[in-house]
A and B are shown apart, each in its own frame.
Chain A
Amino acid sequence: MAINAMASKTMASKPESSVSVMMMPNGPGAAAVLAAGIGCFAMGVVAVVADKVPALARTLNFYKPTGPLSGVSSTAIVVWLAAWAVLHYYWQRRNVDLGRAVTAALVLLGVGVLLTFPPIGDFL
């Protein structure tokens, strides 16, 4: 009760926008978080695969002075933004299972970070 009263009190200073945000579904937030996880995972996977497959590394050489890193990072960014756009499109007005989306995002983030560590990439 006290918490609700506090929320109403603080919201009173900016009525319209705050009330509309209160009614927002969690889908857009879940989409952003999961897409970021996918983007970080893509960074790790593309980096490892480009390191293992010279033909792919050559293909990803978008900007010669930077080398394959230009293609690896650009690909990860495109995957991230595409995933965000698609998930947002489907979830923008929905309430989704936030727990599952967040867990998946954190697992993808963790694996993505680990894959960027060269000894792990070399081990695979």
Chain B
Amino acid sequence: MEMTTRGLWTLVHGMGFGALYLLACSFAIVELYRRYKPYSLQPISVEDETFLGRWLVVMAVVAWITVLTGAYVIYPWYRAVPPAGMAALNAFPQALLKSNQNTIEWHAIGMEWKEHIAWITPISITMAAAVFLRYRRCLTNYPQLRAAVLIFVFTSFASAGVAGFFGAELNKHAPVEGGETTKLMHGGER
């Protein structure tokens, strides 16, 4: 069982930070919806408030790490241009997808959408974290502001979902592989 450096980076980007963000998002949406609704009779403790504030900040950090590793570490490997006349395109995922009519749309729609919509996520969640840290429990007094924060957080979740779905499908049809190989396990015959 072995893994290439590029494969490992893809794993860290998608299954690590990306999936972590999606999981974290569901808690933030539920908490903001349930606890900070206008005229809520449920008291909000300082501990709850501090926890959600830190949670949103960590989510923003995770979102930025995800898009930055995607755009500046993995994407250059994806879009690398093969030398002229090269037939084996396995190390050039974008060229590989574009070389076949059955897979070209995974690039033309999948990657083109993913590479842009992904940036909605960190912008939205950074705003949500900043607004929450400023208003905290007083968000219950500003229903429109809370609604806006909720919608932006939900949009960040949907954007990350789109990016994650296409990331997984693209990696299935044209995996980003290469670089040094690390042996994870020395298998024997079974």
Number of A-B contacts (CB under 8 A): 120
* Residue B46, interface by CB 8 Å: yes
Q: Which residues of chain B are near A10, meaning CB under 8 Å?
A: 43-45, 137
The main secondary structure of chain A at its interface with chain B is helix
* Pairwise interchain contact A33-B131, C-beta atoms closer than 8 A: yes
What is the total number of residues of chain A having a CB less than 8 Å from a CB of chain B?
48
List the 5 closest pairs (A to B, CB-CB), nearest first. A65-B76, A36-B127, A116-B116, A10-B43, A116-B117
24 contacts between A and B (CB under 8 A): A10-B44, A13-B45, A24-B138, A29-B131, A29-B135, A29-B145, A30-B145, A32-B127, A32-B134, A33-B148, A33-B152, A65-B76, A66-B79, A73-B119, A76-B123, A77-B123, A80-B123, A98-B142, A102-B144, A109-B124, A109-B151, A113-B120, A113-B155, A116-B116
> A residues bordering B, Cβ < 8 Å?
2-3, 6, 9-11, 13-14, 18, 21-22, 24, 26, 28-30, 32-33, 35-36, 39-40, 43-44, 47, 63, 65-67, 69-70, 72-73, 76-77, 80, 98-99, 102, 105-106, 109, 112-113, 116-119
